[in-house]
Amino acid sequence: MDSPHQPRVRSYLMKHIFLGGLNVSRIGLGAMTMAGVYTSGGGLDDDESIRTIHRALGLGVTHIDTAEVYGPFHSEELVGRAIKGRRAEVVVATKFGLISHTGRDPGDLDSSPASIRTAIEGSLQRLGTDYIDLYYQHRVDPRTPSKRPWAPWPSWSLRARFDSSAYPRPAPVRSAVPMPCTRSLRCRRNTPCGLGTQRSNCYL
């Protein structure tokens, strides 16, 4: 599959900015409604959703945002279908933590390492890729405390993926970040940050 490290040459149709180490078009595309999260409006039109993603790419959008919980899973599946063969053109952001993969009650938040591992596998498969550019923790899980609140899921659960021989380098997750994070950011401001900011388990 495409490597996230390969040089990309393109003329930008739209202004770009940096999110941490990720270069993105400053207008992205949210794929939540494609799974009918507000309303299905009497039915979903997957073909139109995919045309929408293709049109976005054609207009210079390079940042697509989805989550396993949208649908659930349907939004990621549509994004995967739409970017097939074009993976290197886009920064794909997805999210974990709102679906429990360890048997907690439906609706319970789950950022346990086991749940994250299953979530990553599922997202990679649906997105048809071997790496996620930007992986958000969708909600903080109060049952999975962290000594480092700015990286509130146990960092080894992601690092384990990086070191796993099951994956070719680079890491399957380029950037991981807590999404709802006023407290996390406050904490980080007051905490020496010795970790890299690109292509490792880091923060945007």
Partner 1 sequence: MQTEYSLWTRDPEVELLPLVRELGIGFVPYSPLGHGFLTGQIRSVEDISDDDWRKSNPRFVGENFQRNLRIVDEVEAVATEADATPPQIALAWLLAQGEDIAPIPGTRRVARVEENTAADRLLLSVEQIDRLNNLTPAVGDRHEEFYMARIDR
| Distance, CA of 108 to CA of 190 (rounded, Å) | 30
Cβ closer to partner 1: 59 or 160? 59
Q: How far is the CB of 57 from partner 1 (least distance, A)?
A: 10
Helix, strand, coil percentages (3-state) for the chain, rounded to 5, are: 30, 15, 55
Question: CA-to-CA distance for 53 and 20, rounded, in angstroms?
Answer: 24
Catalytic residue among 38, 70, 136, 167: 70
CB neighbourhood size of 48 (10 A): 9
Question: Using CB under 8 A as the criterion, which residues of the chain lie in contact with partner 1 when the complex forms?
Answer: 14-15, 17-20, 22, 24-34, 37-42, 44-45, 48-49, 51-52, 55-56, 59-61, 63, 65, 93, 109, 136, 139-140, 142, 177, 179-183, 185-186, 188-189, 203-204
Cα distance between residue 46 and residue 88, in whole Å:
23
Residue closer to partner 1 (CB basis): 147 or 166: 147
Q: How far is the CB of 39 from partner 1 (least distance, A)?
A: 4
Cis bond before residue 170 (omega within 30° of 0): yes
Closest separation in Å from C-beta 34 to partner 1 = 4
Q: Annotated catalytic, 70? A: yes
